[in-house]
């Protein structure tokens, strides 16, 4: 069996493994994703970025959650994969376009090292059928929805993947871990959903705690940060420039006049990993 190598990066503590099909002979399977992401028995990660794949001049990545399910989009994942592409010489331009299951995303490197970048996250979508959410029509903004044992003020938003933002006076990791499974697997969300607990600190700052579909509690999330900022912006709680504070650190989210979202944040390279031959056997 040929040697298998991966590279590991993190964005504010949200860590991913890169599995490059151009440098590894084995095709990645769902069971292998689960095995690799296990922190006690595998390498450990919040997900796997599988790529790059080439379709003409288009460069594509597949994003997998630790449970083996495939995600449409990941803000941290896009930044991490972009850093990998720059490190390995796939991308030499200051700005390029990456394709995910949710469509294309433009990434701009803000320094020579490529470890700080701005990502065009597109337009937030609040309409129920586009997220999707069943049992509701039109936009879901500040709706009272029952989860677990109580009603919560919820705003649902898609940024290529589904998110449910719950506005609270105070947020905590404990609350996110208690409430997350109820929200993720609620009957309202046929594709499951990512949850963000959001506390507005002032017009330029929000604090969030995150429970991700297929991953559980995570230190940070790019799409989650943008979703919470978009919900806060939609309700008029914040302005056009918002710092999103998370367990793992901060991301800057900015809104253009037409509502389009830019996200700016860092990436850290952790190291290269060579797997034992029997791991994929």
- Tell me whether residue 14 is annotated as binding: yes
- Tell me whether residue 148 is annotated as binding: no
Do the strands 70-71 and 58-64 form a parallel or antiparallel pair, or are they unpaired?
A: antiparallel
- Tell me whether residue 111 is annotated as binding: no
Residue pair 256/17 in contact by the 8 Å Cβ criterion: no
- Tell me whether residue 222 is annotated as binding: yes
Residue pair 219/226 in contact by the 8 Å Cβ criterion: no
Using alpha carbons, list the distances in angstroms from residue 176 to 155, 163, 205.
16, 14, 19
- Tell me whether residue 214 is annotated as binding: no
DSSP assignment of 29-60 equals -HHHHHHHH-TTTS---S-EEEEEEEETTEEE
- Tell me whether residue 114 is annotated as binding: no
- Tell me whether residue 103 is annotated as binding: no
- Tell me whether residue 75 is annotated as binding: yes
- Tell me whether residue 93 is annotated as binding: no
- Tell me whether residue 153 is annotated as binding: no
Do the strands 5-11 and 14-19 form a parallel or antiparallel pair, or are they unpaired?
A: antiparallel
List residues forming the annotated binding site.
Answer: 14, 65, 75-76, 161, 194, 212-213, 222-223
List residues forming the annotated binding site for substrate.
Answer: 14, 65, 75-76, 161, 194, 212-213, 222-223
């Amino acid at each position: 069996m040929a040697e298998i190598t991966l590279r590991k990066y993190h964005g504010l503590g949200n860590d991913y493994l890169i599995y490059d099909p151009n440098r590894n002979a084995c095709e990645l399977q769902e069971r292998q994703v689960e095995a690799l992401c296990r922190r006690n028995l595998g390498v450990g990660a919040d997900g796997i970025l599988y790529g790059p794949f080439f379709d003409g001049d288009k460069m594509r990545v597949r994003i997998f959650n630790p449970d083996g399910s495939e995600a449409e989009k990941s803000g941290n994942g896009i930044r991490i994969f972009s850093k990998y592409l720059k490190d390995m010489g796939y991308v030499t331009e200051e700005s390029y376009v990456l394709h995910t299951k949710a469509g294309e995303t433009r990434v701009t490197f803000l320094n020579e090292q490529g470890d700080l970048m701005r990502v065009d996250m597109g337009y937030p979508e609040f309409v129920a059928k586009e997220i999707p959410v069943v049992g509701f029509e039109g936009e879901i903004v500040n709706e009272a929805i029952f989860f677990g044992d109580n009603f919560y003020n919820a705003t649902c938003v898609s940024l290529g993947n589904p998110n449910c933002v719950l506005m609270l006076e105070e947020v905590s990791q404990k609350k996110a871990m208690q409430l997350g499974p109820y929200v993720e697997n609620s009957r309202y969300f046929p594709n499951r959903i990512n949850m963000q607990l959001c506390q507005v600190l002032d017009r330029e700052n929000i604090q969030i705690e995150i429970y991700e579909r297929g991953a559980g509690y995570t230190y940070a999330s790019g799409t989650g940060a943008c979703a919470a900022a978009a919900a806060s912006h939609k309700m008029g709680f914040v302005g056009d420039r918002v710092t999103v504070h998370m367990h793992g650190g901060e991301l800057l989210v900015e809104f253009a006049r037409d509502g389009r979202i830019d996200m700016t944040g860092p990436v850290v390279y952790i190291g290269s990993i060579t797997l034992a031959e029997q791991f994929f056997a």
